[in-house]
C-alpha cells in the first residue's frame, strides 16, 4: 500500500514509469521488466537520499492504460507484476499519465513542495490505435499546467525514432542490439541509475538537475522534435 506523511517535510521528486505492455512485450521482455523492478526498490531502500526524495508511480499501457502502482514511497509499497496485453495506444498512455501526475502530487499533502515530475517512457512499438496521440501529449506537456513533466523516451524493437523524439522533452534514446530482453534490462538499469543520480543532485535542498545516466555504447541518441 502506498504511504505518505500527511504532509511531506521535504521536497519530493515524483517519478512516473510509463511502460508499454502490449502483446509484443510478451515473454522475455515483460519478464525483464518485472525482474528489474526490485532493483529500483533496493536502491530506494538502501540509499537514504533516494529514499527521502523519490516517489514512484508505475503505469502500463497497451490498448488501454492502467495504474499498476499509484505514486508511492517504494519503501512501503508492494511492487506490481506487469502482464502483456493488447495493442499499443500512446493516447491512452499520455491521458492517464496526466491524470495520475496531478492526482499523485496532490495526494502528497497540502503545502508539500515538489521537483518537476519526470516520466520515463518505454516502448518497443508504434501507436496503432484510431485516436491521435499528439493531442494527449500536448496536454501532458502544456507549460501552463503546474504539474507538466520532463519526459525521457526509450525505445527498442520496432519503436519509431520520430515518435520517440516527439514524445521526449530533452532526451530520447533507442537501445542498441537485437536481444529485446537485454535491451529492456539495460533500459531499466538506466532508469534506476538516473533516478539515483537525479535524486543526488537534489540533495541538501539543491535545485536539482535531471541526470540521464546512459552508457553511450548501449544507446543511439535520437533528435528531439516538436509536436506537430
Distance CA 65, CA 183 (A): 23
Residues with Cβ within 8 Å of 191's Cβ and at least 6 positions away in sequence, in order, are: 17, 40, 120, 154
pLDDT tens readout for residues 142-201? 999 999 999 999 999 999 999 999 999 999 999 999 999 999 999 999 999 999 999 998
pLDDT tens readout for residues 3-48? 444 555 689 999 999 999 999 999 999 999 999 999 999 999 999 9
Which domains can be identified in the chain, with CATH numbers? 13-221 (3.40.50.410)
The string over 121-142, giving b where at least 16 C-beta atoms fall within 10 Å of a residue's C-beta and e elsewhere, is bbbbbbbebeeebbebbeebbe
pLDDT of residue 194: 97
> Would you give the distance in Å from CA 81 to the centre of its chain?
16
How wide is the angle at C-alpha 151 spanned by C-alphas 19 and 162, nearest 5°?
Answer: 85
Higher pLDDT, 77 or 228: 77
pTM of the predicted model as reported, rounded to 2 decimal places: 0.94
pLDDT tens readout for residues 97-156? 999 999 999 999 888 999 999 999 999 999 999 999 999 999 999 999 999 999 999 999
Q: Percentage of the chain surpassing pLDDT 90?
A: 89
Q: Alpha carbon of 131 to those of 88, 126, 141, 149, 194: distances in Å?
A: 11, 13, 18, 22, 32
Amino acid at each position: 500500500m502506498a504511504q505518505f506523511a500527511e504532509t511531506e517535510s521535504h521536497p519530493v521528486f515524483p517519478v512516473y514509469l510509463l511502460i508499454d505492455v502490449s502483446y509484443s512485450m510478451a515473454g522475455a521482455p515483460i519478464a525483464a521488466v518485472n525482474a528489474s523492478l526490485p532493483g529500483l526498490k533496493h536502491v530506494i531502500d538502501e540509499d537514504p537520499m533516494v529514499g527521502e526524495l523519490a516517489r514512484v508511480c508505475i503505469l502500463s499501457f497497451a490498448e488501454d492504460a492502467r495504474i499498476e502502482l499509484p505514486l508511492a514511497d517504494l519503501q512501503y509499497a508492494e511492487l506490481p507484476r506487469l502482464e502483456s496485453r493488447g495493442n499499443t495506444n500512446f493516447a491512452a498512455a499520455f491521458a492517464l499519465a496526466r491524470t495520475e501526475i496531478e492526482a499523485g502530487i496532490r495526494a502528497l499533502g497540502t503545502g508539500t513542495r515538489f521537483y518537476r515530475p519526470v516520466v520515463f517512457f518505454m516502448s518497443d512499438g508504434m501507436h496503432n490505435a484510431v485516436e491521435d496521440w499528439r493531442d494527449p501529449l500536448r496536454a501532458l506537456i502544456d507549460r501552463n499546467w503546474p504539474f507538466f513533466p520532463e519526459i525521457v523516451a526509450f525505445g527498442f524493437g520496432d519503436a519509431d525514432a520520430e515518435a520517440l523524439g516527439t514524445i521526449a522533452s530533452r532526451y530520447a534514446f533507442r537501445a542498441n542490439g537485437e536481444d529485446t530482453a537485454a535491451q529492456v534490462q539495460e533500459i531499466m538499469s538506466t532508469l534506476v541509475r538516473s533516478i539515483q543520480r537525479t535524486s543526488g543532485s537534489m540533495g541538501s535542498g539543491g535545485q536539482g538537475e535531471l541526470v540521464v545516466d546512459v552508457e553511450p555504447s548501449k544507446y543511439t541518441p535520437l533528435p528531439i522534435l516538436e509536436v506537430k
